């Protein structure tokens, strides 16, 4: 409590001092509530900041968000593995699969059943 500049008012000072002493203490819950608010706002403002950083840089930001949305490097790796497995186990149409299989295995001249006009002649030749 600051002293009164005018010492004729020491009676007033006693009243102000009493008011200071009669001040009830704030509850412990008040401090907790204030700190909880601080933490909640800190988390929210942090989240908003990272959101706005993403959109502020246009296409790159969008790409970055897209990348993050896919789960980053792990997400992309999973996607590639899934695509490979689908390819291997029939995730594409059978005819396309066969063509691709031929391309890979080098059997470019594979003959499909029922599609060779010289098939009978060839069989006769084989049977003598």
Minimum CB distance to another protein smaller for 8 or for 105:
8
The position carrying tokens 């080098």 is 106
Minimum CB distance to another protein smaller for 43 or for 63:
43
* Minimum separation from the CB atom of position 2 to another protein (A): 6
Give exposure, 2-24, as e/b (b: 16+ Cβ within 10 Å): eeeeeeeeeeeeeeeeeeeeeee
CA distances from 13 to 5, 23, 24, 53, 95 (A): 11, 16, 19, 56, 100
* Minimum separation from the CB atom of position 41 to another protein (A): 4
Q: Give contact residues for another protein (rule: CB under 8 A).
A: 1-4, 6, 9-27, 30-31, 33-35, 37-39, 41-42, 45-46, 49
* Minimum separation from the CB atom of position 25 to another protein (A): 4
**Cα–Cα distance between 14 and 109 in angstroms, integer?**
111
Minimum CB distance to another protein smaller for 37 or for 86:
37
């Amino acid at each position: 409590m600051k002293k009164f500049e005018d010492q004729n008012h020491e009676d007033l000072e006693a009243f102000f001092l009493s008011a200071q002493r009669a001040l009830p203490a704030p509850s412990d819950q008040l401090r907790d509530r204030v700190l909880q608010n601080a933490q909640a706002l800190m988390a929210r403002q942090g989240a908003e900041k990272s959101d706005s950083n993403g959109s502020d840089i246009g296409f790159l930001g969008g790409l970055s968000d897209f990348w993050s949305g896919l789960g980053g490097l792990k997400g992309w790796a999973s996607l590639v593995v899934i695509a490979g497995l689908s390819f291997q186990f029939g995730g594409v149409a059978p005819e396309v699969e066969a063509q691709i299989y031929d391309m890979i295995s080098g059997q470019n001249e594979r003959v499909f059943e029922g599609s060779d006009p010289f098939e009978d002649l060839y069989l006769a030749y084989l049977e003598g």
